[in-house]
Structure 1
Amino acid sequence: MRETLAEAAFQLFLERGFERTTVDEIVARAGVGRRSFFRYFPSKEDAVFPDHERCLADMTALLARGTEPDPVRAVCDAARLVTRMYAAKPEFSVQRYRLTQEVPGLRTYELSVVRRYERTMAGFLRECWSGGPDGALRAEVVAAAVVAAHNNALRAWLRSGGSGDAEAAVEHALGTVLDVWARPAAPAAAPGAEAFAGSAGSGGSPGANAAVSGGGPGGGPAEVSADGDVVVMVARRDAPLWRVVQQVEAVLGTPARHR
């Protein structure tokens, strides 16, 4: 019934315009009573976005399962659910996007839906980082970055009329967030860098109890075993600062306060 009402409503919105379509006309097209409409949709605006409530519930459930150990990668996985929802019905998604651009009230409603996704991600991240410095701030920044990257790619796909691969475009956009905020999948040295960990010897040289491998021009993995508390990083001048910081975090085993 929910899908029948949503389909009838959307057909009328396209035929007559959103503002000129009444609830009575929607239920007449669907062949049901007026009371049935409000059982599923509090307003006409809700009938334009019938799938977001289900997607939001799926996102909440995904984050609650906690199968991804890196919180940043977890919220990116959550954002991909929204992409797949749009990509599953490309024609409908493109038509809805065009309709929201024409009706200010729908645009406002859409922004409120986006904000709900962002709050869900930020709440999850705050719990993950509650014991760390600036955890709440970091959660809000990362959640906003994930939503911005996702929506930038998704809206470009919608403006193109649904041409191309929406999921690939979003994946590329989310990669910009993962490059900055996510933990590396495995400890990786900066290009042309060597990492040493251990107790400092005379003259500040690494202690003999540190064992390190990797860090060549290809930025291969580094393996570190040490019982000291000093880290020395040697990197190429052109090595990206964020990658150097990631490597230091990997050696220390704790997130740095600044990036």
Structure 2
Amino acid sequence: MSSSSAAPRRSGKAEAAAAKPPMRDALVAAAFQLFLERGYEQTTVDDIVALAGVGRRSFFRYFPSKEDVVFPDHERCLADMTAFLASGTGEEEPVRRVCDAARLVLGMYAENPTFSVQRYRLTKKVPGLRAYELSVVWRYERALAEYLRGRFAGRRDGTLKADVIAAAVVAAHNNALRSWLRSDGQGDAGATVDHALGYVQAAFGHQAAVPADPRPEETEEDVVVIVSRRGAPLWRVVREIETTLGKGGTAGN
């Protein structure tokens, strides 16, 4: 029996419902159609829901604001990144681990190059979207830094290293990503990002080999031992100390 003969026939309404994209995707598609036609500032939430054929409450069920519809997948990607970092055994080289986590963001952009390029162009034109994007980037950086802080805990300057490396990973990733977006999504985005992250791993990858500091760094001090006869007068002991310290001071100058 073929699968086609076993499948029940759908009514016209059922076929239309099956062909309709999920509501969340429909809202994103409607929003970007209007952004391209009218401009971002000239498009309202009411315009978006009217084109998508849904109500305002449906829009806000998926997106807290109009800005959020421009970046529909970042919350999911941030959650995936956090879960990826948390799933490690603790034996992974930490810098490589955060570089691999950054590649999850690239994967999100590479899933739909056309949409990613459109968003990049839109964000460049709208200062408010640029500020929103920077806040999203900061959240990615914080996730990477928190992971590294845990891995570098107890090491000298561990927090500083974690924050610097996290910032470097984000900077390298975004430099390569924007280069790919400026090319209209042409070429191998993965290779471009790998090349950029290679600089970070070359500069900081050895951090994993630095052992934890059991205690704060101590300065080395000289210890002077004086041997004196039992019963020697105190003035003689003091003179021997002064003589010894005086020789040490002369030698040290």
Report the TM-score range of the alignment, normalised by the length of the smaller protein.
Answer: 0.7 to 0.9
> CA offsets, 1:195-245, max 9 Å, x none?
xxxxxxxxxxxxxxxxxxxxxxxxxxxxxxxxxxxxxxxxxxxxxxxxxxx
Candidates 173, 176, 196, aligned match of 2:196: 173
> CA offsets, 1:144-190, max 9 Å, x none?
0000000000001101111111110000000000001114xxxxxxx
Letter of the structure 2 residue corresponding to residue 144 of structure 1? A
Letter of the structure 2 residue corresponding to residue 142 of structure 1? I
Measure how far apart 1:254 and its partner are: 2.4
Candidates 37, 40, 57, aligned match of 1:18: 40
* Aligned counterpart, 2:211: 254
> In the alignment, does 2:129 pair up with 1:106?
yes
* Aligned counterpart, 2:63: 41
Candidates 66, 71, 74, aligned match of 2:97: 74
> In the alignment, does 2:167 pair up with 1:144?
yes
* Aligned counterpart, 2:25: 3
Change in Cα spacing, 1:44 to 1:71, as seen in structure 2 (3 Å) is same
Letter of the structure 2 residue corresponding to residue 254 of structure 1? P
Unaligned runs of at least 5 residues, structure 2: 1-22, 214-253
Candidates 107, 112, 119, aligned match of 2:142: 119
The secondary structure found in structure 2 opposite 1:182 is helix
Candidates 135, 140, 156, aligned match of 1:133: 156
The answer to whether the 8 Å contact 2:154/2:212 transfers is: no
Task: Select the structure of larger CA radius of gyration.
Answer: 2
* Aligned counterpart, 1:60: 82
Q: Which has the higher strand share?
A: 1
Count of aligned residue pairs for this structure pair: 191
RMSD: 1.8
Unaligned runs of at least 5 residues, structure 1: 184-245
TM-score (norm 1): 0.71
Higher relative contact order (CA 8 A, sep 6+): 2
* Aligned counterpart, 1:153: 176
Q: Which has the higher helix share?
A: 2
Candidates 86, 93, 106, aligned match of 1:83: 106
